[in-house]
Chain A
Amino acid sequence: MSDEESGANGGAAGGPENDGQRFDRLPATAEDRVVAGRPTREEVVEWWEERYGLSPETWDGHTFWEKGKGKIWAFAGDLVSPNPVEAVGMRVIRARQEHWKPSTDAVQRFCGEATRNVVVLEPEEAERFVRGEDQELERWDGDWGYLVAAHEFEGAREPIGVGLYLHGELRSTVPKGRQEDLS
């Protein structure tokens, strides 16, 4: 949990290009950035706060890593960087594109506390969403783009997954392997 502030990018071993075959810890801030285009920890934490209202403390104790082009992972500890292992924590964001996309698993795990861009679905809508179906949802008058789809469940607002809201339609991005008929 130590090396957070230094945001080391692999030191001498790391080149200026992103190496898609390994995990590299995100730099703490833009000043620490060595690899062009790599998001910083600061940007990632701010994005969750601005987009979904998640408090920055959500990520205390987590380090962020990039592997592949823009796949950002959150890990509840620290490791030496770069690192050639198969997986580090959980894949949380697809970055390096105009609109960053959160992963279903990250939204389920961390967005119970989300306060912005959360669309709360009625029971039947929630079931359609989990089946992977797109649906008209004219009542939403918030932002376009990637929303947290949630429902009221066991006395709380439980996130279901990621919806893409465009032109009055909520598209389900629940991965095929996770889609279920819960009706």
Chain B
Amino acid sequence: MNPLERYAPLVDDEEAFLAACDRPLPSVVRVNGIKATAERARSALDAEGVGYEVTDWHPGILKMDERGPGTTWPYFHGWLHGQEEVSALPALALDPDPGDVVWDACAAPGSKTTQLADLMDDRGILIGNDNNLGRLSALRHNAERLGVSNLVVTNQDARNYSLKPFGEGIDDSAAIDAFDRALVDAPCSCEGTIRKNPDALDRWTMDHVHSVAGIQKGILRRAVQATRPGGTVVYSTCTFAPEENEAVLDHAVEEEDCELVGWDAPENFETVPGVTEWDGEEYDSSVELAHRVYPHHNDTGGFFCAKLEVTA
């Protein structure tokens, strides 16, 4: 059975949904504002005769006509970074300010992390963590190529992340006791990436969904605990499974001091609300504030993104 068929009851147009999941995705790049403006990057691509189309919802996110961007001058200069279109959402939702202390719990290989650095104007402290040491080298390579200098890279299990290396609790003006914002772009069953990676669902099982959901709950809970009251946590996945999305939010709202808050998706980018019922389970009604992204709505991958505020 195609696991995607289980989501038919959730989508408005099953046929369009399944057809979109079958189509390959175009190559998409994000302009890196640390090194160039969208205007300069586009002008440089024009000068090289590289075809692209500006997405109708973000001037710095470009769909390339054919070849990947790797063999162009603007890419070599670190003005561009290959990043799937829909994966630009969580950093925009988190909306960090220059000077914030931001935690990216599952950072490698770093597309969203470097986008966060860009939104922070490369100021403040951005802590990119990943539990996989091998993937950290990709994170570091990407960050340095894009000229990011406000990133600290750590290698811990996000579920019991320790702030001790940052001087938690000690009397030092440089010590960090809590984050202002945290992004949990959780490891997931990756159903939404089927258009980029047709093998994504080969090893899909319900057991796997339940097992990653446990990890997701652990990471999201730790993110809420480590973020100051009034701070923001964004939770995202590239899967459609409510077990990994709304159920995880429901668990966090129940167990930790936090609540879902509304967030407007970018203009011209269509999303639908989170679901409050699935497979005999009922979730907290506030999970409707989350955003579901289906491939046939914006011709992107599938995605899920929710914003939480930490309460006292």
Contact = CB atoms under 8 A, between A and B. Distances in A.
Contact of B123 (A76, A84, A180): A76
Chain B interface size, under 10 / 10 to 19 / 20 to 34 / 35 or more: 35 or more
Interface of B: 34-35, 40, 43-44, 47, 70-73, 76-78, 122-125, 136, 140-141, 143-145, 147-155, 165-167, 170, 172-176
A80 B174 contact: yes
Interface in A51-78: 61-62, 74-78
Nearest to A84: B165
A88 interface: yes
The contact size tier of chain A is 35 or more
9 contacts: A61-B123, A80-B174, A87-B151, A89-B152, A105-B145, A108-B35, A109-B35, A154-B40, A182-B73
Interface string A142-183: 000000000001100010100000000000000001101110
Contacts of A90: 143-144, 147-149
A93 interface: no
Interface of A: 2-3, 61-62, 74-81, 83-91, 103, 105, 108-109, 130, 153-154, 158, 160, 177-178, 180-182
Contact of B149 (A62, A79, A178): A62
A143 to B, nearest CB: 25
Contacts of B77: 108, 153, 158, 160
From B35, B144, B150, name the one whose CB has the most chain A CB atoms within 10 angstroms. B144
B175 A154 contact: no
A159 B179 CA distance: 35
Contacts, number: 100
Contacts of A83: 165-166
A75 B147 contact: no
Contacts of A77: 123-125, 150
Highest count of chain B CB atoms <10 Å: which of A78, A84, A154: A154
A88 B174 CA distance: 14
A74 B149 CA distance: 7
B172 A3 contact: yes
Given A77-B123, A178-B145, A87 B140 contact: yes
Interface of A, helix, strand, loop or mixed by DSSP:
loop
Contacts of B152: 75, 79, 85, 87-89
Contacts of B141: 177
Nearest to B101: A77
A86 B154 contact: yes
Contact of B125 (A79, A158, A178): A79
Contacts of B73: 153, 182
A32 to B, nearest CB: 16
A76 B166 contact: no
Given A79-B167, A84-B165, 11 more contacts: A77-B123, A79-B152, A80-B174, A83-B165, A85-B165, A86-B140, A87-B151, A108-B35, A108-B147, A153-B44, A178-B145
A91 B143 CA distance: 11
A105 B35 CA distance: 11
